Structure 1
Amino acid sequence: MSVFYRSNNRDFTLAKGNCVEVLSQFEFQFDMIFADPPYFLSNNGISVQNGKQVSVNKGNWDRSNGFEQDNNFNYEWIKACRSKLKDNGTIWISGTYHNIFSVAQMLKELNFRILNCVTWAKTNPPPNLSCKFFTHSTEFILWARKSQKVSHYFNYDLMKEINGGSQMRDLWVLPAIAKWEKTCGKHPTQKTLPLLSRIIMASTKEHAWILDPFAGSSTTGIAASLLNRRFLGIEQEINFLKLSKQRREEIENNKIRNDYLNKICKYSDKPISNILELNFNSPKSYYGKDLPF
């Protein structure tokens, strides 16, 4: 296994390689997994970015290889992740209609229990250029637990508090990626920190271990570090690994770290910092169980 980077306090590790191959090389189980796999939507279409027409093609990794191969791909990586998830652990998987139905079917075949299908309604979606159908403004995030019988962790009280005292629903109105999240560079499918922070706070305790098998620019890992969790990201592309490293080193700067936390807290009806007693000054050092490499 190739460890590309590890932060000084060991809360953030990046491994280079194919996630199925990397996960087969060590024994360790995580509290939570977030996965943003290929959506299979690189079909030579056109979208809008910063007011300009751009191709929707992300790369060969995002192209569909047909029904059977796409399903087999989802089955294999989810199976690999299942063996690295604690019995009371949960997995979150994002997607659109291009891939999410396949993901749901593979979760069922691998005996996960699907808990929710969260709809992320973006406050700033790109316009529909063709004007022949509705504007795409949502993504879906499946939340599932490993065991049918072993209960999972859910911070119900916190989710209720940051939702103004009402039960949080499975419709989340949050922005798409913002300029302040791209200071180190861009990733074509980068998720937003407010979204990942909510997911992490909902389903883990502080110091939990979180895995992202398709790390990309490691928004999962940045959110984990900001919220005092620990993270392993797996990524094949060297440029994305370099971007992830830059982003993690960026939040060693206390001013930037503090700024990011305040921006995350903005999307709560109650200051998250008051609830979690977050450390706004510097990343914590960790003790206890560590990755076996």
Structure 2
Amino acid sequence: MKKKSPRNKTIDIDLEEGSHYLERVVSLTKEASMEEVCNKTLVGDTFEMLPLLPKESMDLIIVDPPYNLTKTYHGKKFSKIKQEDYYIYTVKWLDLVLPLLKPNGSLYVCCDWETSLIIGQVLMEKINVRNRITWQREKGRGAKSNWKNGMEDIWYCTKSDQYTFNVDAVKVRKKVIAPYKENGKPKDWQETEKGNYRNTHPSNFWDDVTIPFWSMPENTAHPTQKSEKLIARLILASSNPGDVVFDPFLGSGTTSVVAKKLDRNYVGIEQNPLYCVWAEKRLEMATADKGIQGYTDGVFWERNTLPQQNIIKKDGIE
């Protein structure tokens, strides 16, 4: 086995090494109360687990379902299916997820450009769609006969017209290139020793999110891991401390980890025991370190701004 570089922080322990983490996960065989599942990783088929969870118990649900691509997830293969079959697949999990959402709860669904066309249609039939966020991925395979696929979507929905949206918690701090002053004082920006900045309202296009990679402490060997910074935006905007955040396709645990770091409760379902091990490992790490790269002192920093560069250098990321 090839030895990793000391700077490679990727979590990829196997089931044998992580067997003690599996002792922490829960497998449901009957209907459970919130007390039984709160702050737990549930291992099993999400379609079997969802009917066992308490109705109207989740304040925020973040869903990152398998995209309609042929991909292997450490022994679990998802094969691309016809669009009409993926539509049926989406309806199937959504009909099980929506009863779990509180009347004032919010739902976010991640997808690529192709599945977005299907998922968006289903959502509009079943829930209030508020917006579609598009975020720019740094990574992406090049194409010789098409445009490189460098974007993904996140659909933002609410169950009713009464919902949480903490806009001040998700403002983006950007550099002020041409500072304008009025009566000798900064107008709508701050003057600091580290530069001039303005906190701006977030739009539905995000170009400051870094895909986790090998020298980031949050990185795992999961093939489609979302970044903590990305999920932090959703959680801060659409939930409050003490709320319950739920992810029915947990993967390597990012949603639960970020919820814990931001003082929310969490519930996550993942069918692959190996990914449950990685999730529990990360949850243990989150107890000691609540840091989220790119989110510092309650502020989301624009990529390549000076404080963010200092954080990257400190973590050994260049």
Alignment of 1:157-172 (within 5 A): 157-160=168-171, 162=173, 164-172=198-206
| CA shift for structure 1 position 157 | 2.2
Partner residue, 1:26: 53
| Equivalent residues of 2:166, 2:238 under 8 A apart | yes
**Stretches of structure 1 lacking an aligned partner (at least 5 in a row):** 43-55, 271-293
Opposite residue 25 of structure 2, the aligned amino acid is: Y
CA gap of 1:135–1:201, structure 2 versus 1, over 3 A, is same
Deviation above 4 Å: which 4+ runs of structure 1? Answer: 56-61, 180-184
Residue 125 of structure 1 contacts residue 176 of structure 1 at CA under 8 Å; is this kept in 2?
A: yes
Q: Matched residue of 1:144: which SS?
A: strand
Within 5 Å, give how 1:51-90 maps onto structure 2: 57-58=72-73, 61-90=77-106
Q: Which residue is equivalent to 2:157?
A: 144
Q: Between Structure 1 and Structure 2, how many residues are aligned? A: 244
* Greater mean alpha carbon deviation, residues 112-121 or residues 177-186: 177-186
Q: Which residue of structure 2 lines up, in the alignment, with residue 125 of structure 1?
A: 139
Partner of 1:135 in structure 2? 148
Residues 1:104 and 1:118: Cα distance change in structure 2 (over 3 Å): same
Q: Assess, with a 3 A threshold, how the Cα gap between structure 1 residues 177 and 251 changes in structure 2: closer, same or farther.
A: same
2:113–2:151 Cα contact (<8 Å) kept: no
**Distance apart, 1:134 and its partner CA:** 1.7
TM-score by length of 1: 0.75
Shift of 1:24: 0.6
Report the Cα distance in structure 2 between the residues aligned to 1:152 and 1:241, rounded to whole angstroms.
Answer: 31
State the percentage of identical aligned residues: 24
1:54-77 deviation line (CA, Å, top 9, x unaligned): xx6546643222222211110011
**Change over 3 Å in CA distance of 1:3–1:19 after alignment to 2:** farther
Tell me which amino acid in the other structure corresponds to 2:240.
K
Q: Separation in 1 of the partners of 2:271 and 2:173?
A: 36
Q: Deviations over 1:23-61 (max 9, x none)?
A: 21132410000010010122xxxxxxxxxxxxx654664
Deviation at 1:185? 3.6
- Quote the residue 2:110 is aligned against: 94
Of 279, 285, 292, 1:261 maps to: 292
**Are positions 1:230 and 2:265 aligned together?**
yes
1:37 and 2:69 aligned: no
CA distances 1:124-165 after superposition (whole Å, capped 9, x unpaired): 22340x422222111100000112xx3211002222365633
Q: Secondary structure at the match of 1:34?
A: strand
Larger Rg computed on CA atoms: 2
Contact 1:162 1:268 in 2 (8 A): yes
61 and 86 in structure 1: CA distance in 2 versus 1, 3 angstrom threshold = farther
Query: 2:44 is matched with which residue: 11, 17, 24?
Result: 17
The root-mean-square deviation of aligned C-alpha atoms, in Å, is: 2.5
Unaligned runs of 5+ in 2: 1-21, 27-36, 175-197, 303-318
Is the Cα contact below 8 Å between 1:41 and 1:98 reproduced in 2? no
SS in 2 for 1:200: helix
